[in-house]
């Protein structure tokens, strides 16, 4: 385990607003974020720093990209540890909050790395819950809409137990997250650890990997290159896409709430993948065709969050409409394709 020296990296352009009180910096809390160099983890680091917290990022860089957090290295309020959370986790000093976002999260990743996927949500979660217990910290774990599997209830609400194939190709991710939730609730009920569980629905935005295999980066990178855009199945399966800024705002509200049971965070506006592909092609503006490939095994036919709890308990709902979110994401992808 090592920490990057924030004085080493120069020529950065990113600036963060730190809250001041009586002309002195007041760091509200000391926060550990695992998976910090990933898509969601890096946006969470930005958010917590903007809110005046001291952030410790941790990532083994298996699927994360150090470039996602390089702009934070010069900040005295940020540390980075290159570490695998499936190994013993030690962080010196007090910790107020832990956010566990370390995990492969796309089908391409967890099909390539099934064992690592299972371990990070089992051993990794166990290690971080133990750290939370030892430090007296509140911990929020990143679960997923995949705990609902190929749902028989639509839209999906938190009380639905799901329809998951535990031995199918997606089971390594689905069951790992279901185990994570069980372990988290056990620590809450048996040890009295303050826990929060977020069930994240499809999210998109800058810093997604172009090759991560999910719908948005696949469609957008193919269209930008002038390639055929690949849709699996007939394209009639549905998804609900939430812009990353909205998602991390909901996660922040959940962490600070008093609610310990799972909460769906996502955008309830549902769209077929055929329609989504057409939207992306129109936005990119290249003359490309949409082609179809066989639907992968156990691919969910429907995905739409019921966000009643998020609205009532957290006072949260998404604000960025899909057209605006896609424009912001396209600006990022144009620079990286």
How far apart (Å, rounded) are the C-alpha atoms in residues 272 and 283?
A: 17
DSSP state of 161: -
Do β-strands 24-25 and 30-34 pair in parallel, antiparallel, or remain unpaired?
A: unpaired
H or E, element range at 203 = strand 203-204
The phi and psi torsions of 140 (rounded to 5 degrees) equal: -115, 125
Rg, Å, the chain Cα set: 19
Is 173 tagged catalytic?
Answer: yes
Taking alpha carbons only, the member of 323, 307, 324, 304 closest to residue 264 is 307
Non-local CB neighbours of 169 within 8 Å, separated by 6+ positions: 111, 296, 297, 298
Contact between 261 and 200 under an 8 Å Cβ cutoff? The reply is: no
Between 244-256 and 39-50, two packed helices, what is the crossing angle to 10 degrees?
60
Omega before residue 155 within 30° of 0, cis: yes
Q: Are 270 and 239 in contact (CB under 8 A)?
A: yes
Which one of 54, 97, 173, 204 is the catalytic residue?
A: 173
The DSSP result for 43-98, as a single string, is: HHHHHHHHTT-EEEEEE--SS--GGGTGGGTT-TTEEEEE--TTS-----S--SEE
Task: Give the three-state DSSP class for 290.
Answer: strand
SS3 (DSSP) at 216: helix
Neighbours of 174 (CB within 10 A): 25
List the structure tokens of 114. Answer: 């099934």
Active-site positions read: 173
């Amino acid at each position: 385990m090592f920490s990057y020296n924030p004085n080493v990296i120069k020529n950065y352009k990113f600036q963060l607003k730190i809250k001041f009180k009586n002309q002195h910096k007041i760091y509200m809390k000391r926060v550990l974020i695992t998976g910090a160099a990933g898509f969601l983890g890096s946006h969470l680091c930005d958010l917590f720093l903007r809110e005046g917290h001291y952030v410790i990022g941790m990532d083994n860089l298996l699927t994360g990209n150090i470039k996602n957090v390089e702009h934070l290295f010069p900040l005295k309020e940020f540390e980075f540890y290159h570490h695998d959370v499936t190994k013993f986790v030690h962080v010196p000093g007090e910790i107020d909050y832990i956010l566990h976002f370390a995990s492969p999260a796309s089908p391409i990743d967890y099909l390539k790395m099934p064992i690592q996927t299972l371990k990070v949500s089992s051993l990794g979660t166990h290690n971080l819950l133990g750290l939370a217990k030892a430090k007296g910290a509140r911990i929020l774990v990143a679960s997923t809409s995949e705990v609902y599997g190929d749902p028989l209830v639509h839209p999906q609400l938190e009380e639905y137990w799901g329809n998951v194939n535990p031995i199918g190709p997606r089971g390594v991710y689905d069951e790992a997250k279901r185990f994570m939730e069980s372990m988290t609730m056990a620590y809450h009920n048996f040890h009295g650890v303050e826990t929060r569980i977020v069930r994240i629905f499809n999210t998109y935005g800058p810093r997604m990997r172009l090759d991560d295999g999910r719908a948005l980066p696949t469609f957008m990178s193919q269209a930008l290159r002038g390639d055929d855009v690949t849709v699996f199945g007939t394209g009639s399966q549905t998804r609900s896409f939430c812009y990353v800024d909205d998602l991390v705002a909901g996660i922040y509200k959940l962490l600070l709430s008093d609610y310990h049971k799972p909460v769906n965070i996502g955008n309830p506006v549902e769209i077929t993948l055929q329609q989504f592909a057409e939207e992306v092609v129109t936005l990119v503006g290249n003359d490309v065709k949409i082609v179809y490939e066989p639907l992968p095994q156990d691919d969910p036919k429907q995905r739409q969050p019921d966000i009643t709890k998020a609205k009532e308990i957290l006072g949260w709902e998404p604000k960025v409409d899909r057209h605006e979110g896609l424009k912001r994401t396209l600006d990022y992808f144009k620079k990286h394709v």
